[in-house]
A and B are shown apart, each in its own frame.
Chain A
Amino acid sequence: MNAELELYPIERILFVGPLEDVLPLADRAKQAGHTPTLLLAPAEIEEGRKRTRIRILGENEHADADGFDIAFECYTTDVTSKYEAIQYLEDAFSGEAPIITLTLTSALCDLLTDAAAPDRFVGVSMLPPFSETTLAELTKLDSTDPSIFATVESLFESFGLKIATVGDAPAGVLVRAVACLVNESYNALQEGVAPAADIDTAMKLGVNYPHGPIAWGQKIGLARVEAIMDGLYNWFHEDRYRATPLLRRAARM
């Protein structure tokens, strides 16, 4: 990190996304001494208020840059909400406050094709579930403001996460590899190579994987793995990233 860069404040953080994903991140923020607030889909507000005492914006409340130092947009499977959230934050956050966006399903540049000020965005890829995440892969564009990037780095460090800087592609390095491992294990399962439990045993004992890939997929969320594979497929247009039909079916059950 460049010591001469002036960092933006990171105290009041607005998390935007599905409750399941923003909640563990907001908890980390709170533990780090920040003040998190959640912006949820109207349908999730009530459930959110039951599950946490962290502030949740009401349906008619608006987020603006006066109230927040930094925003973190966390949608993955719901692409429509993702684009809407990015646009909403750009409009609501006038000024130059940093905006972080999760890049599990799209490259950063892809998310920002219509952005008015792409230089204030930083992309992040992290392995779900976010309650167990240990490392954040950060992505910037050539135009990203260095102070904004350094600010986001310091934010993730304050969450107790290790940091890596990676180039721009959907799902960074780790999530891409793990999603492909899960997809390949479903591919083997689909072919009847072995039952799920045996595939997991084989990968844990044969190559020391921390989790069996089938169980790992369930931990991450199969709908999310599917969305990551589709994101990779859309980006590369390569057969290699086609989601296995069995994975698609399992994701819908």
Chain B
Amino acid sequence: MPTFPSVAVLGAGTMGSGIAQLCAQAGSTVFLFDAFPDALKRAPQKIEKDLAKGVELGKLSKEQAKVIVDLIKPINLLDECKSADLIIEAASESLEVKVELFSQLDDRVGHDCILSTNTSSLSVTQIAAKTKYPHRVCGFHFFNPATRMRLVEVVAAHQTDKSVIERIVAYAIELEKTPVVTKDTPGFIVNRVARPYYGEALRALGEGLADHMTIDRIMREGGGFKMGPFELMDLIGIDINFAATSSVWEAYFRDSRYRPHLIQKQMVDAGFLGKKSGRGFYDYSAEGK
């Protein structure tokens, strides 16, 4: 029996669908909720496709895949998840959205139910403070793609009970993840410690020390990084990366250590968002290839 037999995932986008799949793979019943019916329709299809790939590769049987799919129950009303033992909120990155969802659940779910959020950049402490029982709120931060990336950050807000963290850590292990517990500080561990990788590369580019291709090559060939900072920003999305930097910078009272770079903003302004828009620091259009 998993630590949380019944889980509700709120938000069925990129992260939510992956997280729902993981929880079902661990044997939990998963209520999947999204405010937009389209997303709710797409997520199970995406999960089925991913599992089918697993079947093809011999990682699991057809029957096992079916069991997993059947454990995922798309729901149209938030009320339908009130029996859940764990809420994993993975809706859009907005304080209002997250607070609104949690406040709707405050008195509907059981007292022992944990409210966790997959937020990358918001303060979990701030979200918790807006709920009725802040001690049961924590961060449960997965990485993209959630089904493949081994790390999860378990974020202890100022108000979080120790036992809440312990149970989330235990569940993360059941999800076959490597959990690390982190204090609720801007960017937690990864999104904060990684800032200089992008920031210094952007500054080196801005200072004219080298072009972006040379900088990428230096980082790969000299540093052993799998991807150079500019390739990586293109993959993540320059807008997403810029937003992450801006949010850590703002949250640390504009400490110059995290200051975003004008180059990023101009790329975003121009709509050059990276791979997804066909053009970022590199050209991904047909002619660019």
CA distance A1 to B210 in the complex (A): 17
Q: Are B210 and A167 in contact (CB under 8 A)?
A: yes
Separation in Å of the B86 CB from the closest CB of chain A? 22
With A137-B222, A181-B197, A199-B189 as contacts: A240 and B259 at CB distance below 8 Å: yes
Separation in Å of the A219 CB from the closest CB of chain B? 12
A57 contacts partner chain B, Cβ-Cβ < 8 Å: no
CA distance A238 to B62 in the complex (A): 59
Interface 0/1 of B132-161, CB less than 8 Å to A: 000000000001000001110100000000
Q: Which of A176-207 contact B (CB under 8 A)?
A: 176-178, 180-181, 183-185, 187-188, 191-194, 198-199, 201-203, 205-207
Q: Are B192 and A173 in contact (CB under 8 A)?
A: no
Separation in Å of the B170 CB from the closest CB of chain A? 16
A164 contacts partner chain B, Cβ-Cβ < 8 Å: yes
Query: Contact check: which of A127, A133, A202 meets B153 at CB < 8 Å?
Result: A202
Contacts of A199 in B (CB 8 A): 180, 189, 193
In this complex, which of A127, A169, A173, A185 has the most chain B Cβ atoms within 10 angstroms of its Cβ? Answer: A173
Interface 0/1 of B235-255, CB less than 8 Å to A: 000000000000000000001
CA distance A211 to B219 in the complex (A): 13
Contacts of A162 in B (CB 8 A): 221-222
Contacts of B217 in A (CB 8 A): 164
A115 contacts partner chain B, Cβ-Cβ < 8 Å: no
CA distance A210 to B182 in the complex (A): 21
Q: Which of B6-47 contact A (CB under 8 A)?
A: none
Contacts of A178 in B (CB 8 A): 223
A239 contacts partner chain B, Cβ-Cβ < 8 Å: yes
Contacts of B185 in A (CB 8 A): 188, 191, 193
B112 contacts partner chain A, Cβ-Cβ < 8 Å: no
Q: Are A180 and B151 in contact (CB under 8 A)?
A: no
With A166-B209, A191-B183, A239-B255 as contacts: A127 and B194 at CB distance below 8 Å: no
Contacts of B221 in A (CB 8 A): 134-135, 162
The residue in chain A whose Cβ has the minimal distance to the Cβ of B217 is A164
With A185-B193, A239-B255 as contacts: A194 and B181 at CB distance below 8 Å: yes
Query: Contact check: which of B180, B183, B192, B214 meets A201 at CB < 8 Å?
Result: B180
Interface residue stretch chosen among B67-75, B102-110, B199-207, B281-289: B199-207
Q: Which of B214-229 contact A (CB under 8 A)?
A: 214-215, 217-219, 221-227, 229
Q: Are B149 and A173 in contact (CB under 8 A)?
A: no
Q: Are B219 and A177 in contact (CB under 8 A)?
A: yes
B275 contacts partner chain A, Cβ-Cβ < 8 Å: no
B272 contacts partner chain A, Cβ-Cβ < 8 Å: no
Instruction: Count A-side interface residues using an 8 Å CB cutoff.
Output: 46
Contacts of B151 in A (CB 8 A): 201-202, 205-206
A213 contacts partner chain B, Cβ-Cβ < 8 Å: yes
CA distance A184 to B190 in the complex (A): 11
A143 contacts partner chain B, Cβ-Cβ < 8 Å: no
A-B pairs with beta carbons under 8 A, tally: 145
CA distance A202 to B214 in the complex (A): 27
A80 contacts partner chain B, Cβ-Cβ < 8 Å: no
B195 contacts partner chain A, Cβ-Cβ < 8 Å: yes
Q: Are A194 and B183 in contact (CB under 8 A)?
A: yes
> Mostly helix, strand, loop or mixed at chain A's interface?
mixed
B58 contacts partner chain A, Cβ-Cβ < 8 Å: no
In this complex, which of B151, B217, B226 has the most chain A Cβ atoms within 10 angstroms of its Cβ? Answer: B151
Q: Are A202 and B190 in contact (CB under 8 A)?
A: yes
Separation in Å of the B255 CB from the closest CB of chain A? 7
Q: Are A173 and B215 in contact (CB under 8 A)?
A: yes
B256 contacts partner chain A, Cβ-Cβ < 8 Å: yes
Contacts of B229 in A (CB 8 A): 177
CA distance A208 to B195 in the complex (A): 14
Separation in Å of the B196 CB from the closest CB of chain A? 4
Contacts of A167 in B (CB 8 A): 207-210
Q: Are B218 and A135 in contact (CB under 8 A)?
A: yes
B257 contacts partner chain A, Cβ-Cβ < 8 Å: yes
Q: Are B214 and A166 in contact (CB under 8 A)?
A: yes
B277 contacts partner chain A, Cβ-Cβ < 8 Å: no
Contacts of B153 in A (CB 8 A): 202, 206
B4 contacts partner chain A, Cβ-Cβ < 8 Å: no
Contacts of A191 in B (CB 8 A): 183, 185
The residue in chain A whose Cβ has the minimal distance to the Cβ of B226 is A208
Q: Are A239 and B183 in contact (CB under 8 A)?
A: no
Q: Are B180 and A172 in contact (CB under 8 A)?
A: no
Contacts of A188 in B (CB 8 A): 185, 189, 192-193
Knowing that A174-B223, A210-B224 touch, tell me 12 more A-B residue pairs with CB under 8 angstroms. A137-B222, A162-B221, A166-B204, A173-B201, A173-B204, A174-B219, A176-B204, A181-B194, A203-B190, A205-B149, A208-B225, A209-B225
Would you mind naming 19 contact pairs between A and B with Cβ atoms under 8 Å apart?
Answer: A164-B217, A165-B210, A169-B207, A173-B214, A177-B196, A177-B223, A178-B223, A181-B196, A184-B192, A184-B195, A192-B183, A198-B180, A199-B189, A199-B193, A203-B190, A206-B190, A207-B197, A210-B224, A211-B224
